[in-house]
Amino acid sequence: MTTPGGQAQTLFIADDHKIIRDGLRVLVERGGRYRVVGEAADGRALVSGVLETKPDVVVTDLAMGSLNGIDATRQLRAEGYTGIVIVLSMHDERRHISQALQAGANAYVHKDHAFDQIQEAIEAGLQGRVWLSPQLEHLFDGEGVKTLLEMISMREREVLQLLAEGYGTKEVAAHLKISAKTVEVHRLSLFSKLKVNNVIELTRIAIKEGLVHL
């Protein structure tokens, strides 16, 4: 599918593994139907890159450092991005699919089948259809799944991910361009909402919910 003027659809690819980005670029650009206009290795670079290049399609990994693919998608939608978002993930749990679609993704592709299915997912998104890897369709019935992470704000999710990745209060403040005091306020709020007492327990939740990975 190309634009009305015959130009190739533009894509932005985000994954923390360069070999995956390179492989996807070669695959999607084969035949001239798509043109990659940018790449990113983490979620924050994804958001800034997409807002700058305004591609027709975003293909993003779910698990990335600094900001995961789901929260990056949510931020892009909040910033007014209206293009297609394809989420790639090794996760095959229903809650991850639900979170991705609720964040504004148009398709969810299991990474084991990404190179076989990515073009079909892109085409489905461009046609206005929600698309899941066929191996995952039985996990999702269209209803949302309430998770712990849905109990906290977007900023609290960002603080949670960075704390779980091992950043200290001052480093989190620098990443998010907020004060250390504000980080502490968010940290205490996370303790209260998620019913934990320390960062170790927060980290366990972040790992369980797919925000960070060991």
CB-CB contact of 175 with 169 (8 Å): no
pLDDT one-digit tens code per residue, 137-147: 665 554 444 45
pLDDT one-digit tens code per residue, 69-113: 999 999 999 999 999 999 998 877 777 888 888 899 999 998 888
For 51, 83, 116, 172, 194, the CA distances from 153, given in Å and listed in that order, are 22, 24, 36, 16, 12
Residues 41-67 have a mean pLDDT of 94
Q: Which residues of 109-146 are buried (b: 16+ CB within 10 A; e: fewer)?
A: bbbebbeebbeebbbbbbeeeebbbeebeebbeeeeee
Same domain assignment for residues 81 and 113: yes
Q: Which two tokens stand for residue 133?
A: 């890897």
- For residue 213, is it within any domain? no
- Does position 122 have pLDDT exceeding 50, yes or no? yes
Structural domain that includes position 47:
9-139
- For residue 196, is it within any domain? yes
Q: Which two tokens stand for residue 99?
A: 């979170």
Same domain assignment for residues 134 and 80: yes
Domain with residue 176: its CATH number is 1.10.10.10
Same domain assignment for residues 119 and 157: no
- For residue 2, is it within any domain? no
Same domain assignment for residues 125 and 60: yes
- For residue 3, is it within any domain? no
Among residues 93, 114, 139, the one where a domain terminates is: 139
Same domain assignment for residues 132 and 98: yes
Q: Residue 4's pLDDT band (boundaries 50, 70, 90)?
A: very low
* Helix, strand, or coil (residue 197): coil
- Percent of the chain predicted with pLDDT > 70: 90
Same domain assignment for residues 115 and 158: no
Same domain assignment for residues 175 and 126: no
The C-alpha R_g of the chain, in whole angstroms, comes to 17
Residues 186-206 have a mean pLDDT of 88
Same domain assignment for residues 49 and 126: yes
Among residues 103, 121, 139, the one where a domain terminates is: 139
CB-CB contact of 27 with 115 (8 Å): yes
144 vs 213, higher pLDDT: 213
> Any idea of the CA torsion for 142, 95, 134, 103, to the nearest 10 degrees?
70
Question: How much is the pLDDT for 85?
Answer: 96
- For residue 79, is it within any domain? yes
CB-CB contact of 8 with 33 (8 Å): yes
Number of domains comprising the chain:
2
> Chain-wide mean pLDDT for the chain?
86
Same domain assignment for residues 202 and 158: yes
Domain with residue 132: its CATH number is 3.40.50.2300
- For residue 1, is it within any domain? no
Q: Which of 26, 24, 33 is nearest to 2 (CA)?
A: 33
Same domain assignment for residues 110 and 13: yes
